[in-house]
Amino acid sequence: MYHYHSLKPVIMTIDGLEFGSQEPFSLSNATMETIMRQIWEHGPITAVMGIHQVGSSIHSALRDIMVNGGIYTENALWAAIIGYHSVLIIGWGVANGVLYWKCANSWGTSFQPDLIYSNTIGAVKAIMRPFPEKGYFRILRGKNFCGIESQLIYAEPVKDRHTDQSSYPNITKGAKSAGGWHELPADDSHVGVSQAMSHFVSQPVHGGTARRAAPLLHNHRLTKAMHQVVAGSNYHLVLTAEHVESGEQYQMQGIVHQDLSGRHFIKHSGAPTLIRKNNAAAKPNKTVSTANGDTAKASSAPVNSPAAQGSADSDGKVHIPTWALWLTGALVAVLLTVVAGQQYVVSNQRCTISNLRQKPSEAPTTAIKLEEVQDPRTSQTTVEIVSKVDDASTATLKASNPRSPTSTELRSRSASHEGVICLD
């Protein structure tokens, strides 16, 4: 068995075009034919393209092309790049005089535009809308549009596991990291960042995060924004905010996912962390006037400063950490369970010992009186219980066994206190 894989992928370079460049560039017909021949002989080529966000839409321009169809041919001159994405160039063509590459994307064949109420099932359901080109898209060919032709790589299958890796070409300068985090300006006027930030502030806690008491914060300010191109967008936001009462500064960060239909979800969010205490109230040299007109220095302790957990405040009250209270309660519950279990075991042992020590003569006894009865239909003799005799030790009688004419002596022993009767 051979491992068919390439240890030396081929990096295609184009004369005059910087590797990973997003600048417009006109490719010659010979260069485009070389790319086509590689696709024809070796299969799809990996390309890395820049993803733009155009206008006031929260979606990327690539998403709009996939949803609406057509050939991706132009962007606004001011459209900012929000990340980089890998696609496969699988073919080429011409439509209405426009040269294009046909590319395979990784976002599936359909997307979910909205949730609607269905009268059929009586509940809200998702409506999946297929992409017009079934997950593929077409993009302008020969102009390095969105950098589609500046970073081309392909690998052909070979039966070779010992290729000299030192022969790899050193063409990493200018390469774009597809699918990586791309830093955006920390400006909440950016439509995508603004909506992700609004969702994050309104729902700061991820569903899988342990519930905890979160401080009441306001005046949120964006300090850092990172974007990741996926089937939709991921926004990694870092915010600062103030406590509504103390004015202390907190930092919070999380990842907000925006899907292809425009909905937002919290993917990850940690608890806000205190980064700066508010000591504005601590003014040791400030003087205050008393009722009799005298002046005195004010206390240097900050007003409304929270006491440290486990310490005593100025009123002598001790603040115990919440985790210590939960731990104490759990230990008390375990101790009570152990004590109750021991009491139950001891009680059962005492009852068993008392029963074993009881004398046979003291146990209540019951005897049964048996009488021979002849069945008139079969003329056979059977034994029936005619009465119970209390405090009797034994009762003896003669009876015929229906299966044997021989007389058998039946002796009824005293019944035990458990109600079991033994017959010989």
Alpha-carbon Rg for the chain, nearest whole angstrom, is 44
Q: In this predicted model, which residue has the larger pLDDT, 99 or 313? A: 99
Q: In this predicted model, which residue has the larger pLDDT, 380 or 285? A: 380
Which among 162, 247, 182 has a CA at the least distance from the CA of 49? 182
3-class secondary-structure state, position 240: strand
pLDDT digits (tens, 9 = 90+) for 212-269: 566 788 889 999 999 999 999 999 999 999 988 888 898 988 999 998 888 898 887 7
Reply yes or no on whether the pLDDT at 384 is more than 60.
no
pLDDT digits (tens, 9 = 90+) for 179-217: 889 999 888 788 899 999 999 988 876 655 555 566 788
Residue 349 has phi, psi (to 5 degrees) of: -65, -40
Instruction: Give residue 50's pLDDT.
Output: 94
In which band, very low, low, confident or very high, does the pLDDT at 404 lie, cut at 50, 70 and 90? very low
Instruction: Kindly give, in sequence order, each residue whose CB lies less than 8 Å from that of residue 278, ignoring residues fewer than 6 positions away.
Output: 243, 246, 247, 248, 249, 302
Which among 307, 264, 24 has a CA at the least distance from the CA of 148? 24
Reply yes or no on whether the pLDDT at 416 is more than 90.
no
Reply yes or no on whether the pLDDT at 325 is more than 60.
yes
Instruction: Give residue 268's pLDDT.
Output: 78
Q: ∠ CA 34-11-155 to the nearest 5 degrees?
A: 90
Reply yes or no on whether the pLDDT at 380 is more than 80.
no
Half-sphere exposure of residue 368: CA atoms within 13 angstroms, side-chain side: 17
Instruction: Give residue 73's pLDDT.
Output: 93
Neighbours of 228 (CB within 10 A): 19
Full set of structural domains in the chain with CATH: 10-179 (2.40.50.170), 182-276 (3.10.450.10), 366-412 (no CATH)
In which band, very low, low, confident or very high, does the pLDDT at 368 lie, cut at 50, 70 and 90? low
d(CA 234, CA 67): 19
pTM for this predicted structure:
0.59
Reply yes or no on whether the pLDDT at 60 is more than 80.
yes
Which among 217, 216, 238, 236 has a CA at the least distance from the CA of 227? 236
